Structure 1
């Protein structure tokens, strides 16, 4: 990792072409221990400045370290998770509130967001995509086709949908238990971008320390630039056999002594009736259908998301009617 950034400022690199075109923004280190995007972005900055890569349409904004405080501590967050409850506030209470006050207008000034992340456990890279086109209070989406087209060309073949809808259902369950919870706590960079009418994709590039993750991130940026026609490069082909997974339920940890039945990894396959976890009261959490466990967190706090359940989706498949 290179020298630490100043936590009182955020480095924003912008390359504006003289030709009209899309406005793309790429974020790295929204979570400070996820540095593959930082490395990929800094590599691209060097190549643009050397002339090896040329932006000939539109503008490209690169933010190598979106959360300098978390990056300095080499941990997920500074005072709190920047990728939750992202909003403007006139009364910032913590470091991430100040970052969000800078970041929200920056996102709204762009057309497309690529947010680069990584994950803790071993696994293959995947992209998180938003809802299908819809009108509603939760997440109005009118550009799902354009978002899917970008996601399919990032260089990965696994895609996950249903995040905010599933999170909202979890909030309802918390409220029924008397827990103070808000749907907007599930809103991060991509949801903020979509709410302003833009296109957004989160790419999980691999395990935090995996050597291949920065290359996955780098190729994804180049592929996005080529797909949008912003560089002189052949546009990449779409993933041939995409696997799409839909989150449908979030399960909270209800007691500090709630325990998993085994050491789960994200995207482990589960079968209907299989034990997933054991509650403090002795009851067992069973899989209600065949599918996957996603984002299991053995260190989850009480009344926060412990793991997600997911099932197969026909979205992005060649025989899908959508």
Structure 2
């Protein structure tokens, strides 16, 4: 067993099974202050996880940000996995851009991705992010909500990149960084994901809760800044014309009823203030 203190976050860790199979990438720490994915990958490495088939590739997304305990160093890594001509000069000069190129090379050789995230918000709940091409991969994950529409609304994530090259990418949001259950949520989700793929030994969970399928249809971008009018839980249902917050002195309301998420205070223009989602059929 290895100590977490000597794990090299820059290194791409590869584990091969005896039998042929899928090449699966697990990423944690795309945002350096989202600790549950980092802890789970560290646990896999410390315990020298064994797999039955295929290849498991473990990537610590943003090593410098992980070491410093911040979301990113120069820019959001999870918006850089798209056509380079859509990126700004600042983004292309960033530390994260160089790290993105390293990760992108690995994703290009992989079949499937699962990217582990958590939230700084204490009102965050676990949910799945994937487009309908990957619904078959997530049915064993014990989270109620499966959300889509992110590729269109927030392009440039790791899962977006996998979808763009006709592969399968899934992100899991596992809860609040301050909740001890978040690491447990991540462990159960990734274990069930890998068992379902035949990568590791284990039993699938019976009697999973019925899934709720939602699609993100609106994202509010700040004009000046954004202050929420109240604390909204992620996926809280709100009626149309609810006061959501203030952009400088402007009152911001929603034009359609739906589920709100990621409503957070923002201090700069053109930041993501909140999103809205609606229920859809699977």
Q: What is the CA distance between 1:261 and its match in structure 2?
A: 2.1
**TM-score computed with the length of structure 2 as normaliser:** 0.88
Relative distance call for 1:159 and 1:70 in structure 2 (3 A) is same
Larger radius of gyration: 1
Name the counterpart of 1:38: 38
Asked if 1:195 is matched to 2:196, the reply is no
Q: Distance in 1 between matches of 2:234 and 2:243?
A: 16
Q: Which of structure 1's runs of 4+ aligned residues deviate more than 4 A? A: none
Q: What is the CA distance between 1:69 and its match in structure 2?
A: 1.0
Asked if 1:105 is matched to 2:92, the reply is no
* Greater fraction strand: 2
CA deviations on 1:160-190 (whole Å, 9 max, x unpaired) are 11112234xxxxxxxxxxxxxxxxxx21111
Relative distance call for 1:209 and 1:279 in structure 2 (3 A) is closer
Asked if 1:248 is matched to 2:217, the reply is yes
Give the aligned CA root-mean-square deviation in angstroms.
Answer: 2.4
CA deviations on 1:254-304 (whole Å, 9 max, x unpaired) are 123x5332233322221122211234454x322223212111121252122
Q: Distance in 2 between matches of 1:279 and 1:21?
A: 50
Asked if 1:124 is matched to 2:125, the reply is yes
Q: Distance in 2 between matches of 1:160 and 1:4?
A: 36
Q: Distance in 2 between matches of 1:280 and 1:298?
A: 12
Give matches, 1:1-322, under 5 Å. Answer: 2-3=4-5, 10-47=10-47, 49=48, 53-63=49-59, 65-87=60-82, 92-121=92-121, 122-130=123-131, 132=132, 144=133, 147-167=134-154, 186-237=155-206, 239-256=208-225, 258-282=226-250, 284-315=251-282
Q: What is the CA distance between 1:236 and its match in structure 2?
A: 4.2
Conserved 8 A contact 1:227-1:236:
no
Tell me how many residue pairs correspond in the alignment: 274
Runs (5+) with no aligned partner, structure 1: 133-143, 168-185, 316-322
Q: Distance in 1 between matches of 2:248 and 2:271?
A: 16
Runs (5+) with no aligned partner, structure 2: none
**TM-score computed with the length of structure 1 as normaliser:** 0.78
